[in-house]
Chains A and B, each alone.
Chain A
Amino acid sequence: MDLDKLRKTAAEIVSRDDVKYLIGWRRGTFGYRVSPHFVRDAAGADELIFSPLCISNLANYLTLVEKLPVPRGQEPDTRKVALMVKGCDSRAVAQLLAEKGIKREEVVVVGLPCPGMIDRKLLAEKYPETEQAAEIRWRGEDFVLVDGEEETVIPRAEVLAEKCRLCRHPNPVLSDVTVGEPVEPWAAAEDSGVAEIMAKNAEERWAYWEEQFSKCIRCYSCKNACPLCYCEDCILDRLDPIWVNRSVNFSENTAFHLARAFHLAGRCIECGECERVCPAGIPLGKLNRMLAQTVREEYEFEPGLDPEAEPFQASYKPDDPEEFIL
Chain B
Amino acid sequence: MSEQFRPNIVAFLCNWCTYAGADLAGTSRVQYPANVKIIRVMCSGRVNPLYVVNALQQGADGVIISGCHPGDCHYMEGNFYARRRLKLLKELLEFTGVDPRRFTMSWVSASEGHKWKEVVEKAVEDVRAAGPFDQFQRRQIGW
Name the one of A294, A313, A325 contacting B106, with C-beta atoms under 8 angstroms.
A325
B53 within 8 A of A: yes
Q: CA–CA, A203 to B94, complex, Å?
A: 11
CB within 8 Å of B: which of A236-295? 243, 245, 247, 249, 251-252, 254-255, 258-259, 261-262, 265-266, 287, 290-291, 294-295
CB within 8 Å of B: which of A174-216? 194, 197-198, 202-210
A30 within 8 A of B: no
Which has the most chain B C-beta neighbours within 10 Å: A197, A204, A294, A312?
A294
Contacts of A251 in B (CB 8 A): 57, 136-139
6 closest A-B pairs by beta carbon, nearest first, are A206-B97, A205-B97, A326-B106, A316-B80, A265-B88, A209-B96
Check A294–B105 contact: CB distance below 8 A: no
Name the one of A197, A202, A247 contacting B99, with C-beta atoms under 8 angstroms.
A202
Check A262–B89 contact: CB distance below 8 A: yes
Interface size of B by Cβ–Cβ distance < 8 Å?
40
Check B70–A255 contact: CB distance below 8 A: no
Contacts of A235 in B (CB 8 A): 50
A322 within 8 A of B: yes
Contacts of B97 in A (CB 8 A): 202-210
Supply 26 A–B pairs (Cβ within 8 Å), ascending by A. Answer: A198-B95, A205-B96, A208-B97, A209-B96, A210-B97, A210-B135, A247-B139, A249-B139, A251-B57, A255-B50, A259-B50, A262-B50, A265-B92, A287-B92, A290-B95, A291-B88, A312-B84, A313-B84, A313-B88, A316-B84, A318-B80, A320-B84, A322-B70, A322-B83, A324-B105, A326-B122
Q: CA–CA, A235 to B50, complex, Å?
A: 10
Per DSSP, chain A at the interface is helix
Check A321–B87 contact: CB distance below 8 A: yes
How would residues 97 to 117 of chain B score, 1 for a CB under 8 Å from any chain A CB and 0 otherwise?
111100011110000000000
Q: CA–CA, A312 to B71, complex, Å?
A: 20
Instruction: Take A197-B95, A320-B80 as given contacts and tell me if A262 and B54 are in contact as well, using a CB distance cutoff of 8 Å.
Output: no
Contacts of B90 in A (CB 8 A): 324
Check B54–A295 contact: CB distance below 8 A: no
Interface size of A by Cβ–Cβ distance < 8 Å?
45
Contacts of A313 in B (CB 8 A): 81, 84-85, 88
Which has the most chain B C-beta neighbours within 10 Å: A210, A262, A266?
A262
Check A247–B83 contact: CB distance below 8 A: no
Check A206–B135 contact: CB distance below 8 A: yes
Contacts of A314 in B (CB 8 A): 81
Min C-beta distance of A298 to chain B, whole Å: 8
B141 within 8 A of A: yes
B49 within 8 A of A: yes
How would residues 52 to 89 of chain B score, 1 for a CB under 8 Å from any chain A CB and 0 otherwise?
01100100000000000011000001001101110111
Contacts of A295 in B (CB 8 A): 88
Check B50–A243 contact: CB distance below 8 A: yes
Check A290–B81 contact: CB distance below 8 A: no
Which has the most chain A C-beta neighbours within 10 Å: B57, B89, B105, B122?
B57
Contacts of A265 in B (CB 8 A): 88, 92
B91 within 8 A of A: yes
Q: CA–CA, A271 to B141, complex, Å?
A: 37
Which has the most chain B C-beta neighbours within 10 Å: A209, A298, A314, A316?
A316
Check B83–A290 contact: CB distance below 8 A: no
B36 within 8 A of A: no
Check A316–B54 contact: CB distance below 8 A: no
Closest residue of chain A to B101 (Cβ to Cβ) is A202
Q: CA–CA, A268 to B77, complex, Å?
A: 24
